[in-house]
A = this chain, B = another copy of it.
Amino acid sequence: MPSSTRNNPVESTEQKVRDNFGRQSFMVTLGAIMTAVGRGKVEIQFPFNSQLTQQNGFAHAGTITSIMDSACGYAALTVAPEDCDVLSVEFKANFVAPALGERFIARAEVKRAGRTITVSAADAFAVNQGQEKLIATMLATIMNMPAKK
């Protein structure tokens, strides 16, 4: 870690989150990028891609779920103790409109951070010509785990 971030916990946490995200090969496969990181908040996006669709040509629910899951987990990581990694215990997702758009955005926010368990919520949006439409929503349970050295 560069010494310049040692005294900047915010930058340090963001870097930790972005480094961790960079190790999720599946996010690369989805073409997903992390477009925002803040305290208790993370945003992840990916562009429409015909290799990620279900039978009707919409993005597969699993792809939308994947960016919501990652966003919920990383939102939790921003508020976890410094030496902790996070783990998805479970999540629930509702799909409220077809995943039809040029790109898809998941925005997650921590609802309550506990010592062991953190609850995050995420909404997912389809973007068409700059207009966002809610397509899914998630409520997730994340556990803090001592990070492997």
Stretch in A3-11, A33-41, A61-69 with 4+ CB within 8 Å of B: A61-69
Main secondary structure, interface of A, reads: mixed
- Interface residue? A137 (CB, 8 A): yes
Q: How many residues of chain A are within 8 Å of chain B by beta carbon?
A: 51
Given A63-B62, A134-B111: A92 and B91 interface contact (C-beta under 8 Å):
yes
Q: In the complex, are the beta carbons of A141 and B94 less than 8 A apart?
A: yes
- The 0/1 profile, CB within 8 Å of B marked 1, for residues 90-122 of chain A is 111111110000000000000110101101010
Q: How far is the CB of A55 from chain B (nearest CB, A)?
A: 4
Partner of A139, one of B20, B52, B67, B92: B92
Q: In the complex, are the beta carbons of B89 and A61 less than 8 A apart?
A: no
Instruction: Give the docked Cα–Cα distance between A92 and B29 (Å).
Output: 24
Residues of chain B within 8 A (CB-CB) of A93 are 90-92
Instruction: Give the docked Cα–Cα distance between A67 and B60 (Å).
Output: 11
- Interface residue? A23 (CB, 8 A): yes
Q: How far is the CB of A131 from chain B (nearest CB, A)?
A: 16
- Interface residue? A28 (CB, 8 A): yes
Point out residues on A near B: beta carbons under 8 Å: 20-21, 23-29, 50-56, 59-63, 65-67, 69-70, 85, 87-97, 111-112, 114, 116-117, 119, 121, 134, 137, 139, 141, 143, 148
Q: What are 25 A-B contacts defined by CB distance under 8 Å? A: A20-B55, A23-B56, A25-B50, A25-B53, A26-B53, A26-B54, A27-B60, A56-B148, A61-B66, A61-B88, A62-B62, A65-B65, A65-B69, A66-B66, A88-B95, A89-B89, A92-B93, A94-B119, A96-B114, A96-B117, A111-B137, A116-B116, A116-B143, A121-B137, A139-B139
